[in-house]
Chain A
Amino acid sequence: MSTIDLETARRVAKLARIAVPDENLPALADELSQIITFMEQLNEVDVDGVEPMTSVTPMRLKRRADRVTEGNMQDKILSNAPDAREGFFAVPKVVE
């Protein structure tokens, strides 16, 4: 059985950009371990020489001319922003 320790759980939460309070880390590590253990059944399968699937319905992606198809809708794009100012999305200070 695979086990995910507290440090790994903390690192995964950080990578996923989800704040997890320290007291919730043990439960999270447990749940993740259960799921990973379930996935490890895949190790029983002989996958030698098998290509990983990239597209379930083999198809050539359509091409089109590299031209702007839609645009000029700044108002619409900003209409759902939690904080929009002067035609931009506003976020907390990023650069010191």
Chain B
Amino acid sequence: MSKLNTLTIAEARDALRKGDVTALELTEACLSAIDGAGALNAFVHKTPELAIERAKAADARLKAGDAPAMCGIPIGIKDLFCTEHVPSQAASRILGGFQPEYESTVSAQLRDAGAVMLGKLNMDEFAMGSSNETSCYGNAVNPWRRGDDATPLTPGGSSGGSAAAVAADLCLGATGTDTGGSIRQPAAFTGTVGIKPTYGRCSRWGIIAFASSLDQAGPMTRTVHDAAIMLGAMCGHDPRDSTSADIAVPDFEAALSGDIRGKKIGIPREYRMDGMPGAIEKLWSEGTEMLRDAGAEIIDIALPHTKYALPAYYVIAPAEASSNLARYDGVRYGHRAKLGPGDGITEMYEKTRAEGFGPEVQRRVMIGTYVLSAGFYDAYYNRARKVRALIKRDFEQVFAQGVDAILTPATPSAAFGLGDMADADPVRMYLNDVFTVTVNLAGLPGIALPAGLDEQGLPLGLQLIGQPWNEADLLNTAHVLEKAAGFVSKPAQWW
């Protein structure tokens, strides 16, 4: 058998059930891979003792024949998820030392299904970023390089640690969260698969909030099949999240029939951007042909408000963030600034937040404060919410024409160098989300999967967007595209 940490979730599950391998062996293989991968800075809080303990418990369950699909599967958890008595700080100094007394619903469901948490994964601070460079732990590094060029590349963001860990075989799967593209963009940058389900599919309870109307958790894995298995364990209604949908969760894995004959796939003309790299344009048309060859019908579609998605997002997300992050005040948890003589409570708030939040988080909190302030609320915030309604209507009209899924590039470029954007204005970094952010604004499911390499040998991803609550169908289409693309490349190990 190949190195255990390189197995897919599906392979590992089958081997565990057959008794060919134990959860403990799998876990130990991952723990040693993690120990050898310090240079990637993916795992930022390791929990080896807990992992060994859970692996042994999983082996006992497997022996007893009580083993859900994720039982004994070693995974990483993004630092945005609160995990009981394990540091959970959203990669922010302001939550330094915070050890929750509770477990997020999604990570609890995975735990209860027998999954083995190996530790917490690096990310952009409060999930605000597209390159994992705003983290208080330092950059996570992409295991992929441009050929022999040793320039360190970003794994994307905000779920950069999750993507790097899955791509480098440090774990079999990882949780991510996606507010504007934070699962799909890092998946595309690392040659992995990431799905953001329909808004309301996964409970947000216990996930540190960024923009509540946009945030969704999802799995990051090496294959679409694995995404189907892991997503099934993460979904479901939760009375603790009022936006969690009380809708039955289908068997996503069983939906992978491989048959998409007669499906209608939309190609949105507005996603053809000026200056898009040739490799991405080529990948997109090749992907279109693959779906056509598999029997799908290809239709040109229009999503006329696409251009306004990013500006609307950069009103709505910071507005919600400024409100959600008001709780970090130095009173109940996390960091409190040292106060000078005579400092009162206002100074405590202001100094704590200046010390605790990094520059990007400060910027977004202040933008959010501005667009919600008296006199600007209608001009910015309400207008953005109206544009959001129009963006959603664009998709509804396309789905009403019978379109089953929409194919787009996942990102406007391959992974870029860490530090490349250091001098760029903030808006340039925001452009990373141009193909993904519409999906969050409309609450739809979206999946990124690797479909090829660029001329420098870096992975490129395609995105499929599905109808609300139809992740099963979306995963099946992605499965067909994945098979047709035949992406099997792995990063050469340098770490």
A41-B311 in contact (CB<8A): yes
Interface string of A71-87 (1 = CB under 8 A from B): 00100110111110000
A56-B213 in contact (CB<8A): yes
Chain B interface main SS type: helix
A16-B392 in contact (CB<8A): no
B388-A53 in contact (CB<8A): yes
Across the interface, A41 reaches (CB within 8 A) one of B308, B332, B334, B389, namely: B308
Q: How far is the CA of A26 from the CA of B110 in the complex (A)?
A: 47
B348-A92 in contact (CB<8A): yes
Which residues on the A side are within 8 Å of B493 (C-beta)? none
Q: How far is the CA of A62 from the CA of B247 in the complex (A)?
A: 13
- Total A-B Cβ pairs within 8 A: 170
B346-A17 in contact (CB<8A): yes
- The residue on B at minimum CB distance from A90 is B331
Across the interface, B373 reaches (CB within 8 A) one of A12, A28, A53, namely: A12
Which residues on the B side are within 8 Å of A35 (C-beta)? 314, 363, 367, 426-427
Across the interface, A38 reaches (CB within 8 A) one of B199, B314, B333, B386, namely: B314
A23 within 8 Å of B (CB atoms): no
Q: How far is the CA of A55 from the CA of B212 in the complex (A)?
A: 11
Q: How far is the CA of A43 from the CA of B349 in the complex (A)?
A: 35
Counting chain B CB atoms within 10 Å of each CB, the highest count among A18, A38, A42 belongs to A18
B307-A41 in contact (CB<8A): yes
- The residue on A at minimum CB distance from B368 is A16
B331-A47 in contact (CB<8A): no
B242-A34 in contact (CB<8A): no
B401 within 8 Å of A (CB atoms): no
B369-A89 in contact (CB<8A): no
Across the interface, A53 reaches (CB within 8 A) one of B242, B330, B351, B385, namely: B385
Q: How large is the interface on B (under 10, 10 to 19, 20 to 34, 35 or more residues)?
A: 35 or more
Which residues on the A side are within 8 Å of B307 (C-beta)? 41
**Given the interface contacts A38-B314, A79-B101, does A32 sit within 8 Å of B200 by beta carbon?**
no
Which residues on the B side are within 8 Å of A59 (C-beta)? 200, 243, 245
A91-B348 in contact (CB<8A): yes
Which residues on the A side are within 8 Å of B442 (C-beta)? 56
Across the interface, B385 reaches (CB within 8 A) one of A28, A32, A52, A61, namely: A52
Q: Output the least CB separation between A11 and chain B (Å).
A: 8
Across the interface, A52 reaches (CB within 8 A) one of B239, B322, B382, namely: B382
Interface string of B353-373 (1 = CB under 8 A from A): 110010000110111011101
B474 within 8 Å of A (CB atoms): no
Which residues on the A side are within 8 Å of B384 (C-beta)? 39, 42
Interface string of A1-44 (1 = CB under 8 A from B): 00010001100110111111000000010011011101111111
B99-A80 in contact (CB<8A): yes
Stretch at the interface among B226-234, B337-345, B448-456: B337-345
**Given the interface contacts A35-B367, A53-B389, does A18 sit within 8 Å of B362 by beta carbon?**
yes
Within 8 A of A (CB), among B422-461: 425-427, 430, 441-443
Complex A-B: 8 CB contacts under 8 Å: A35-B367, A38-B430, A53-B385, A57-B443, A82-B336, A91-B345, A92-B345, A94-B345
CB within 8 Å of A: which residues of B?
97-101, 198-200, 213, 239, 242-243, 245-246, 305, 307-308, 310-312, 314-315, 322, 326, 329-336, 339, 343-351, 353-354, 357, 362-363, 365-367, 369-371, 373, 380, 382-390, 392, 425-427, 430, 441-443, 468
